[in-house]
Structure 1
Amino acid sequence: MRRRRGVVDAEHADWIFHGGAVHPMDGTDPASALAVRSGRIVAVGAAAHELRGPGTEVVDLEGAALLPGFQDAHVHAVAAGLQLLGCDLSGVHGAAEYRTLIASYVADHPEPTWIQGSGWYGDVFAGGFPHRDVLDQLVPDRPAVLTSHDVHSVWVNSEALRRAGITATTPDPVGGRIQRGPGGEPTGVLFEAAAGLVTSLLPGPDARRLSEALMTAQAELHRLGITAWQDAAVGTAEVFDDSYDTYVSAAESGRLTAKVTGALWWRRDGGPGQLELLRDRRRRVSAGRFTATAVKIMQDGVCENHTAALLSPYRGLDGETGLSFIPPEELEAVVAALVAERFDLHLHAVGDRAVRECLDALEAAGTVPAGWDPRHQIAHIDLIDRGDIARMTRLGVIANVQPLWARQDTVLVATKLPFLTEDQRARHFAFGSLARAGVPLAMGSDWPVSSPDPVWGIHVAVNRTAPLADVHAADEHAQTVPLLAAEAVGVRAAVHGYTAGAARANRLEHESGTLTIGKAADLVVLDGDPFAVDARDLSSLRVRATFVDGVPVHEAW
């Protein structure tokens, strides 16, 4: 129940929330109420009622819960928005469904010279990957490029291969692979840096399209209770358009209602000369709702296409251990230079060798500049050597994890687990081991790689099984059989990872992440209490409202 606001005065609250559980997530006990004035939290607990005035809007939580607004520590919002606006395959899971969507999109869009889309999953195809022949049938007269859901592969048709000049004799580029069939003929799937052979030819979206994508993504993230995020690739990357100016424009115009930390993209071929650009970009956005305090470095690929860098070989792949995108000695030099410049490092490392190389580089960087508290983080950590968990604790490195992946869905069962040894499987998404060792956890989605819904992420982190409504895990095995149950974390740790933990990773903890007096009123109202429902029902919770600085940015009362 809600009462509309009248005339607000300076002595009373703009909003009072009561009648449910208020979870501050700052180490204090749950409270009964919370008051907001001028975008700030001014009271927590019974004292909130004393600030009620004639113009105060009062929200009865009706036994539900109020939490700090969720934060996503690793997302690609503009890319996700573009996916929603394009040939989006993410809402279905099947080869026949992909064919239907692609055919419909092609028929409805006769104008573009290139057909672009994203969101396919490899497990629905024989052998784990699609073939150009399927796209040739659906798009015979135009080049077509469809990015995989994990953004580490692209699926192209023969016309796209022709325009890029890719043939059986084309060598694999550094940091990438061309999938080949009999006689070395390209199958139409390009991994990692090889995707750039085609994506570099794509007509890029203009500023208006990028702005539309950001606003579309922001609305979706607010709908899910997210008030802040870290964009993990701000710059021109293999399959990402540069979103820096898009964020700056949205922030300056006031259209950016979320608080966003940009992780500036480190180009592997850019050398030390790109430091000046990174410094300049950080300097230009030193305050406001968009800042750029981090640098993103990609050290390896993913296990599904065997480009994640492993300490021991993949099972059954003739000694294959994946790719280290940056040689370890070079990585150490890059990290040292960025640490000296006081950049937080956001390091992509999926395989255990990549994790070790990142830790080696951070340790070699030595003492941090005086007076600086770094927020270095390693993202994903599908596999980690047990000894390196203790190193993460000692070095104070944040584990930036994507909990939605830690379940036995068909992608993992069909395209990943068969290529991991028993030892590797036993160290898979080791969230519980990391937490027990004292490694700080920050949680994110990697959207559009996977759903950005924090409630779903919390469900999987706690249960290690899939949410019931997830179309990409709609089988009984995924929903009932845990993936390494001992690596689950409790509800408090999972919620902390999406609130206070992510806020620290985003360098926003002084402003948000907890419901503490004086902090911004970045809030999420749920229709149930995650600390009271049965753990198996966590994914059924829904967002009633999202607030940023005390202003509703999503309402579904």
Structure 2
Amino acid sequence: MAGGGAADWIFYGGAIHPMDGTAATSALAVRSGRVVALGGDAHDLRGPRTQAVDLRGGALLPGFQDAHVHAVAGGLQLLGCDLSGVHERDAYRALVAAYAERHPGLEWIQGSGWYGDVFPGGFPHREDLDTVVPHRPVVLTSHDFHGVWVNSEALRRAGVTAATPDPEGGRIHRGADGEPTGLLVEAAAGLVTSLVPPPDAARLDAALMAAQSHLHRLGITAWQDAAVGRSVLFDDSYDTYLSAAGSGRLTAKVTGALWWRGDEGLAQLGFLRERRRRAGGRFRATAVKIMQDGVCENHTAALLSPYRGLGQETGLSFIPPGELAEAAACLVADGFDLHLHAVGDRAVRECLDAVEAALPNAGGRAARHQLAHLDLIDRGDIDRMKRLGVIANVQPLWAREDRVLVETKLPYLTDDQRARHFAFGSLARAGVELAMGSDWPVSSPDPLWGIHVAVNRTAPPADVHAGDEHAQTVPLLPGEAVGVRAAVHGYTAGAALANRMEHDSGTLTAGKAADLVLLDGDPFAVGPRDLSSLRVRATFADGVPVHEAW
């Protein structure tokens, strides 16, 4: 028997996948929150108080990790006017009306989770809200967090009229008469959101706890929060994480990507350093998140060539490339990892330019720089990502032909752009490290759904936002699919690398933390179409059950 005494837990009776390049094994032992043995050696550690868990033909994997999530925002969505569970215009209106009726004392009605494809022309209008809540301001964040849908009262309080100019980095959608329609995208959202009273510390704490419980139920034991700081659409969650970590209520491991404020430039470096210094325990703040562009659906993603049918429109680069390169160089010299939002192929290239210029400042430190989303990438930049060691932080759930993509995105992409859409397979074949995440609350944080789409390039049958036959049967560029092993790797070892947690988690290796997910079936044995039907039986964080559904 190995030194240290009997195991606390032994798992057997199913497929145990270490995800470290070794083959599946038959048993795993845990003691004091650590993996201590695998295979036959695990059974040698059985003692009188060891809890033996029969997997009943299921599978045991490293706890899933989400490489790009907004957990506190997701928790606020769960606690507020949550529109994410429906996908229909009248259903949104009904939910808003019911929420306002249940909360007569709220001055502002806030919510999130709407999808543009349910509206005529792909964009919502203030009149839909005016008819259900005419006298209180309503502010509803889109599911992708790149815009807000507001009613006339909210516009009135913000003083937004036909004469209001578009702010830098944002747009006020207007009707044929020039009047604001009630959709404010990117920085323009701040014209209204700046007036909304921010949630207090208790509300943010409740949101984090709600999010953590939700993510644990999905088998997630660690994540990277991709926007820790105050922005137009996100509340500052730094102190919330700090408090939860200090009190022991944070059972997940969290890497905070500190928010880079484009209007402050290098003056914020000291503030970011101090935030990194104060973080500790299960919450570390080792990365900085920079937004370089928007999204294709509202034409703010930065493209190398124009959108289809929009003249010479090529989207927005939020930070001039020279300033981006200067910021990256200073951050890398300071030891930060770069987490760069890059949706369009021009934004991808600008971010790679910045990373390449910054690498000489790394001082030999192993980089964890990553580009997030990568909806479009130029073929030449795929090999460049490999050469620079940049991680592809991708959201696989988006890579399917659902109505959102077919009706509000594809019409604005040229044939060449469409052919380079969510090129996960090309990235993997080039040897680029894939880390997978959800961007929740933008989309579901369920890793099994993400794995399903990464492998099939079609939607999970249970997804309310892709319930049509086309989305579930017609793959988006099937040649860009990845295999089951690559997809599971992206949610375990790959995400752990992006989160700078690979030395302690992401694989089931003796000595690492016992962060585990127990599934009712084996993702490497079921048919590809059945991946999203797998269920989480239990989740363990540091050897302690944090979710059980035996």
Distance 1:494 1:271 in 2: 36
Q: Which amino acid aligns with 1:429?
A: F
Alignment pair present for 1:470 and 2:463: yes
Distance 2:528 2:260 in 1: 40
Query: 4+ residue runs of structure 1 moved beyond 3 angstroms?
Result: none
Q: Kindly tell me the number of residue pairs found equivalent between the two proteins.
A: 548
Distance 2:281 2:329 in 1: 28
Aligned-partner SS, 1:554: strand
Partner of 1:101: 95
Alignment pair present for 1:487 and 2:477: no
Q: 1:329 aligns with which of 322, 336, 340?
A: 322
Q: Which amino acid aligns with 2:44?
A: E
Partner of 2:489: 496
Distance 2:404 2:171 in 1: 21
Alignment pair present for 1:131 and 2:125: yes
Distance 2:530 2:36 in 1: 33
**Residue 288 of structure 1, CA deviation:** 1.0
Distance 1:373 1:58 in 2: 39
**Residue 366 of structure 1, CA deviation:** 3.6
Distance 1:319 1:371 in 2: 42
Distance 2:432 2:167 in 1: 36
Distance 2:86 2:349 in 1: 36
Partner of 2:433: 440
Distance 2:127 2:460 in 1: 34
Alignment pair present for 1:365 and 2:394: no
Q: 1:427 aligns with which of 395, 409, 420?
A: 420
Alignment pair present for 1:515 and 2:508: yes
Partner of 1:197: 191
Instruction: Report if aligned partners of 2:329, 2:361 keep a CA contact under 8 Å in 1.
Output: no
Alignment pair present for 1:23 and 2:17: yes
Aligned-partner SS, 2:140: strand
Aligned-partner SS, 2:255: strand
Partner of 1:282: 276
Aligned-partner SS, 2:382: helix
Distance 1:196 1:73 in 2: 27
User: Which residues of structure 2 form unaligned runs of 5+?
Assistant: none
Partner of 1:543: 536
Partner of 1:293: 286
Partner of 1:3: none
Q: Which amino acid aligns with 1:13?
A: A
Summarize deviations over 1:480-504 as a string: whole Å, max 9, x none.
0000000000000000000000000
Identity over aligned residues, as a percent?
79
Q: How does 1:71-110 map to 2 (within 5 A)?
A: 71-110=65-104
Alignment pair present for 1:208 and 2:202: yes
Alignment pair present for 1:453 and 2:407: no
Q: 2:299 aligns with which of 299, 306, 311?
A: 306
**Residue 367 of structure 1, CA deviation:** 1.3
Summarize deviations over 1:264-307 as a string: whole Å, max 9, x none.
0000111211100000000111x310000000000000000000
Length-normalised TM-score, structure 2: 0.99
Instruction: Report if aligned partners of 2:540, 2:546 keep a CA contact under 8 Å in 1.
Output: yes
Distance 2:285 2:111 in 1: 28
Distance 1:455 1:281 in 2: 33
Distance 1:210 1:51 in 2: 43
Instruction: Report if aligned partners of 2:332, 2:359 keep a CA contact under 8 Å in 1.
Output: no
Q: 1:111 aligns with which of 99, 102, 105?
A: 105
- Aligned-CA RMSD value: 0.8
Distance 1:409 1:175 in 2: 28
Summarize deviations over 1:376-406 as a string: whole Å, max 9, x none.
0000000000000011000000000000000
Alignment pair present for 1:552 and 2:550: no
Q: How does 1:29-44 map to 2 (within 5 A)?
A: 29-44=23-38
Partner of 2:173: 179
Distance 2:432 2:539 in 1: 29
Distance 2:236 2:114 in 1: 23
Q: Which amino acid aligns with 1:26?
A: D
Aligned-partner SS, 1:197: helix
Alignment pair present for 1:412 and 2:405: yes
Partner of 2:54: 60
Q: 1:168 aligns with which of 162, 173, 186?
A: 162
Aligned-partner SS, 1:507: coil
Q: 2:233 aligns with which of 239, 261, 265?
A: 239
Distance 2:246 2:136 in 1: 39
Q: Which amino acid aligns with 2:205?
A: S
Distance 2:188 2:35 in 1: 50
Q: Which amino acid aligns with 2:439?
A: D
**Residue 205 of structure 1, CA deviation:** 0.3
User: Which residues of structure 1 form unaligned runs of 5+?
Assistant: 1-8
Distance 2:265 2:36 in 1: 48
**Residue 322 of structure 1, CA deviation:** 0.4
Partner of 2:221: 227
Alignment pair present for 1:272 and 2:266: yes
Q: Which amino acid aligns with 1:382?
A: D
Instruction: Report if aligned partners of 2:75, 2:208 keep a CA contact under 8 Å in 1.
Output: yes
**Residue 10 of structure 1, CA deviation:** 4.9
Distance 1:397 1:502 in 2: 13
**Residue 368 of structure 1, CA deviation:** 3.8
Summarize deviations over 1:235-259 as a string: whole Å, max 9, x none.
0011100000000000000000000
Aligned-partner SS, 2:177: helix
Partner of 1:319: 312
Length-normalised TM-score, structure 1: 0.98
Summarize deviations over 1:306-341 as a string: whole Å, max 9, x none.
000000000001111000000111111111111111
Q: Which amino acid aligns with 2:93?
A: R
Partner of 1:5: none
**Residue 365 of structure 1, CA deviation:** 1.5
Distance 2:126 2:546 in 1: 43
Q: Which amino acid aligns with 2:203?
A: R
